[in-house]
């Protein structure tokens, strides 16, 4: 994902270099440039730069995520398609907003007489960086996975227990440690607990945790470790 987004920002930097060259050669005035940039719909620039690749990447990853999930209850195609469409709308919005920020950055850079490398610095502060875009995509994928998992927990067997699952390391938030330490509970119990707010969104942006069906005793290992961390007996 990061590579695709780097390509987008590089293509923009190339475009900028051409615009700057033409401007220096007297091909247009600042006023004409402002008019030209303002007349170009951001969505068109977004398409021109291939920004929809992040949306396509996301939708392809959903297929992989679903293929890797254990089904505990049927989830309808309509439900999955709706979740994907909701996310696709958000990404269209991100693309358009980013393209608008890029158009403005092009104008600011020409006015400020910035060279190409200074322009790259400017867009890295004014728009989503490849790293930020990557984090955004990862968070969306995890939230999608949590939504599907939640739907299964809701429609699946009532007595099936779930644990909060994911890496237990120095990046794990205190909230997630506490949730892992809760151990297995039915979905109804999770919903009635103080953690109901985190079941779909995670405890923070880019949270790596989610509900996982408790199907084998070995899963208790991480629960015990989280309890020891909570008690201060073990450090992460």
Question: What is the per-residue burial (b if ≥16 Cβ within 10 Å, else e) of 5-15?
Answer: beebbeebeee
Report the C-alpha gap between 236 and 223 in whole angstroms: 14
- Residue 207 within binding range of Zn ion, rule CB under 5 A: yes
Provide, rounded to whole angstroms, the least separation between the CB of residue 144 and Zn ion: 16
Between residues 131 and 171, which has the closer beta carbon with respect to Zn ion?
171
State whether residue 161 is helix, strand or coil.
Answer: strand
Count of residues near Zn ion by CB under 5 A: 3
146 belongs to the binding site for Zn ion (CB under 5 A):
no
Q: Which of 176, 180, 185, 211 binds Zn ion (CB under 5 A)?
A: 176
Nearer to Zn ion, 185 or 211 (CB): 211
What CA–CA distance (Å, rounded) separates 152 from 54? 27
The whole-angstrom separation of Cα 163 and Cα 235 is: 21
Name the residue nearer to Zn ion (CB basis): 146 or 209: 209
Q: How far is the CB of 160 from Zn ion (least distance, A)?
A: 22
Residue 127 to residue 124: CA distance in whole angstroms:
6
Identity of the residue, 16 or 195, whose beta carbon is nearer to Zn ion in the bound complex? 195
Q: Is 209 in the site for Zn ion (CB under 5 A)?
A: yes
- Minimum separation from the CB atom of position 114 to Zn ion (A): 40
List the one residue out of 210, 94, 125 whose CA is nearest residue 163: 210
What one-character DSSP code corresponds to residue 71? Answer: P
Minimum CB separation of residue 185 from Zn ion in Å reads 17
Site residues for Zn ion per CB under 5 A: 176, 207, 209
């Amino acid at each position: 994902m990061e590579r695709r987004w780097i390509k987008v920002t590089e293509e923009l930097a190339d475009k900028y270099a051409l615009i700057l060259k033409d401007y220096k050669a007297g091909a247009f005035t600042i006023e004409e440039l402002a008019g030209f940039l303002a007349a170009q719909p951001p969505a068109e620039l977004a398409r021109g730069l291939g920004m929809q690749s992040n949306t396509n990447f996301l939708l392809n990853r959903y297929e992989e995520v679903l293929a890797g999930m254990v089904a505990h209850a049927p989830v309808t195609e309509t439900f999955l398609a709706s979740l994907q469409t909701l996310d696709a709308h958000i990404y269209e919005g991100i693309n358009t907003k980013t393209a608008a920020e890029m158009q403005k950055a092009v104008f600011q850079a020409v006015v400020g007489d910035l060279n190409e490398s200074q322009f790259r610095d400017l867009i890295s502060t004014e728009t989503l960086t490849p790293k930020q875009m990557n984090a955004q995509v990862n968070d969306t994928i995890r939230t999608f996975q949590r939504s599907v998992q939640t739907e299964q927990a809701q429609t699946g067997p009532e007595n099936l227990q779930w644990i909060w699952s994911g890496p237990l390391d120095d990046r794990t938030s205190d909230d997630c440690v506490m949730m892992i330490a809760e151990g297995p509970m039915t979905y109804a119990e999770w919903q009635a607990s103080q953690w109901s707010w985190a079941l779909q969104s995670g405890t923070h942006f880019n949270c790596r945790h989610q509900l996982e069906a408790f199907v084998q005793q070995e899963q208790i290992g991480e629960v015990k470790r989280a309890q020891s961390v909570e008690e201060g007996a073990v450090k992460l």
